[in-house]
A and B are shown apart, each in its own frame.
Chain A
Amino acid sequence: MEKLYDKSLTELHDLLVSKEITATDLTRATLNRINETEKDVDSFITINDEKALELAKAIDLKGITESNPLAGIPIGIKDNIVTKDILTTAASKMLHNFNPIYDATAMDKVYQADMIPVGKLNMDEFAMGGSTETSYFKKTKNAWDHSKVPGGSSGGSAAAVAAGQVPVSLGTDTGGSIRQPASFNGIVGMKPTYGRVSRFGLIAFSSSLDQIGPLTRNVKDNALALNAISGYDEKDGTSAGVSVPDFTAGLTGDIKGMKVALPKEYLGEGVDAGVREAVLKAAETFKALGATVEEVSLPHSKYGVAVYYIIASSEASSNLQRFDGIRYGYRSENVKNLEDVYVNSRSEGFGIEVKRRIMLGTFSLSAGHYDAHFKKAGQVRTLIKQDFNNVFEKYDIIIGPASPTVAFGLGENINDPITMYMNDLLTIPVNLAGLPGMSIPAGFSEGLPVGLQIIGKAFDESTMYKAAYAFEQATDFHTKKPVILGGND
């Protein structure tokens, strides 16, 4: 069977059900494909080959039926999602040797769906970064241009899907870490509503913002994957007890009468001309499909980055206290007493960006700064949330760019934290408000993909998928491929 790596989840499912291929064939082909392309994209930290093949064999024995749409489908997992007996590093030296003894709930669901995890994907260390360059292990490359970053922090998850190494992956998004790399790699990435997917077993960065979500090459595949991983989990006190609809149900292509909002702040200063043009064209496409598109204002969105860096860093400084060299992970050899174990293990085990965030968070929470920083940020967060509430009283979705720029060069921004942080300007407010946001392919600028961000009401991913699917059917951006996937130069 030729080019299985280029097929959608539904095409693969049909081949598996009709027994034209087995799950074992598909897993082998996937592992070969990863082997052949890994030197170009470097998206995996760990390849789970033996266990994946064993699992595929067991699934073949059980049989694959139409009622199990994801059975036998290979999936890549971001390396901050804990996987039982599979090395889980969060791309940090701190966890270079960490073999979890349990699975994250999202992984339980992957196994329940009979999907096959083929490996763990590269990311920014502890998900802190926007280019996957802070990984302790390797630098992942953009699937379209290997001299560019894949975005981050889910850079491995996005590049692997865009390069055809896996048809679907799981990423995590704290301030844009699914949407920005999806945008940079020309694929579909969904950050679900806070609480939609259990965070149990996700190595915590910022607990009030983190969310797991799927990355795929088309909208329907994405909806299928979100179906599989969503739902209430008693192990996560913040997971939501709301019912999970079938996210593929509204994929009709018909969005007549849908009310679309376009915030003027999302097309302002700092947004590249090529990106702005693609988004304005997308607005025209929505109008042509029978939706109304109107300009709105999210006046506090410009404070999002500042609020985010206080809240996310404060929560991180607290969450990362657990990495102390005592119970798991890296322990410094260079110690005379217990205090040395803590300080030296942390100083040697964490990379520079992680230390920067721990320092900023500790500062924001320390005596004398708490009111001016942490408390103030929490209040402005309320205002950002209210901005969205006001818009959603009248509109069904909000559209804008997922990132102000297309993918930048490897090494270009790594020594300039503020420029790197500003890259998340358009995605961060969505996390602060707990809303769902996605990026879908919406054109090209400078030869690189542009992502359109769609933001929805809380727990209304269905309407976003409906809009995204209609847009996808009306445009041909998702059919364009990088050279590594057989596209033209």
Chain B
Amino acid sequence: MAISEEKAKHVAKLSKLSFSNDELKDFTDQLGKIIDMVELLEEVDTEGVPFTSNVAQSINVMREDVITPGMDRNELMKNVPESENGYIKVPAIIDNGEAGA
């Protein structure tokens, strides 16, 4: 097994995902198999080989600092699940009720 259940739990936390115990077991098992597959790369000699992150020709694209019309605020708010007075509304940030926020 290439990954422990504890490790999978930690990765789930970093990913902001939660799983039931059964799901976590399945995931640990499947992730382990996938990680075994990708560890095939260890046999490739990459000493001194440059890293490719992107094949695009240009790296930084600059433009003049000129204001152009953006998107309409009211339009943007249309897809917001919950809003109040034109603001996006979310529950309290801290657990112990409204007062905690």
* B-binding residues in A (CB < 8 A): 97-99, 101-102, 194-195, 208, 234, 237-238, 240-241, 300, 303, 305-307, 309-310, 317, 321, 324-329, 331, 335-338, 340-344, 346-347, 350, 355-356, 358-360, 362-364, 366, 372-373, 375-383, 385, 417-418, 421, 432-434
Docked pose: A378 CA to B51 CA in angstroms? 5
Interface residues of B in 36-64 (CB under 8 A from A): 37-42, 44, 46, 49-58, 60-61, 63
Q: Is the CB of A337 within 8 A of B16?
A: no
Q: Is the CB of B57 within 8 A of A337?
A: no
Find B16's partner among A336, A342, A377 (CB 8 Å cutoff).
Answer: A342
Q: Is the CB of A378 within 8 A of B40?
A: no
Docked pose: A195 CA to B54 CA in angstroms? 11
Measured CB to CB, the nearest residue on chain B to A350 is B17
Q: Helix, strand, loop or mixed for chain B's interface? A: loop
Q: Is the CB of A307 within 8 A of B81?
A: no
Q: Helix, strand, loop or mixed for chain A's interface? A: helix
Find A346's partner among B16, B80, B93 (CB 8 Å cutoff).
Answer: B16
Q: Is the CB of A346 within 8 A of B17?
A: yes
Q: Is the CB of B55 within 8 A of A194?
A: yes
Docked pose: A401 CA to B7 CA in angstroms? 39
Residue among A307, A310, A341, A360 with the highest chain B CB neighbour number at 10 A = A360
Q: Is the CB of A338 within 8 A of B93?
A: yes
Q: Is the CB of B16 within 8 A of A305?
A: no
* Contacts A195-B57, A337-B94 given; does A383 touch B44 at CB 8 Å: yes
Question: In whole Å, how far is A365's beta carbon from the nearest beta carbon of chain B?
Answer: 9
Find B55's partner among A97, A208, A305, A309 (CB 8 Å cutoff).
Answer: A208
Q: Is the CB of A101 within 8 A of B71?
A: yes
Docked pose: A299 CA to B35 CA in angstroms? 22
State which size class the interface on B falls in.
35 or more
Question: For residue A417, which residues in chain B have a CB less than 8 angstroms away from its CB?
Answer: 30, 33-34
Find B27's partner among A343, A359, A378 (CB 8 Å cutoff).
Answer: A359
Find A359's partner among B15, B57, B60 (CB 8 Å cutoff).
Answer: B15
Question: For residue B63, which residues in chain A have a CB less than 8 angstroms away from its CB?
Answer: 234
The proximity string for B residues 8-46 relative to A, scoring 1 for CB distances below 8 Å and 0 otherwise, is: 101110111111000000010011011101111110101
Question: In whole Å, how far is A94's beta carbon from the nearest beta carbon of chain B?
Answer: 12
Docked pose: A180 CA to B40 CA in angstroms? 24
Question: For residue A101, which residues in chain B have a CB less than 8 angstroms away from its CB?
Answer: 71-72, 75-76, 78-79
* Contacts A303-B41, A359-B27 given; does A378 touch B79 at CB 8 Å: no
Q: Is the CB of B40 within 8 A of A306?
A: yes
Docked pose: A329 CA to B94 CA in angstroms? 23
Measured CB to CB, the nearest residue on chain B to A208 is B54
Question: For residue A310, which residues in chain B have a CB less than 8 angstroms away from its CB?
Answer: 38, 41
Q: Is the CB of B91 within 8 A of A360?
A: no
* Contacts A310-B38, A335-B91, A336-B95 given; does A382 touch B49 at CB 8 Å: yes
Question: For residue A382, which residues in chain B have a CB less than 8 angstroms away from its CB?
Answer: 49-52
Question: For residue A343, which residues in chain B have a CB less than 8 angstroms away from its CB?
Answer: 16-18
Q: Is the CB of A356 within 8 A of B30?
A: yes
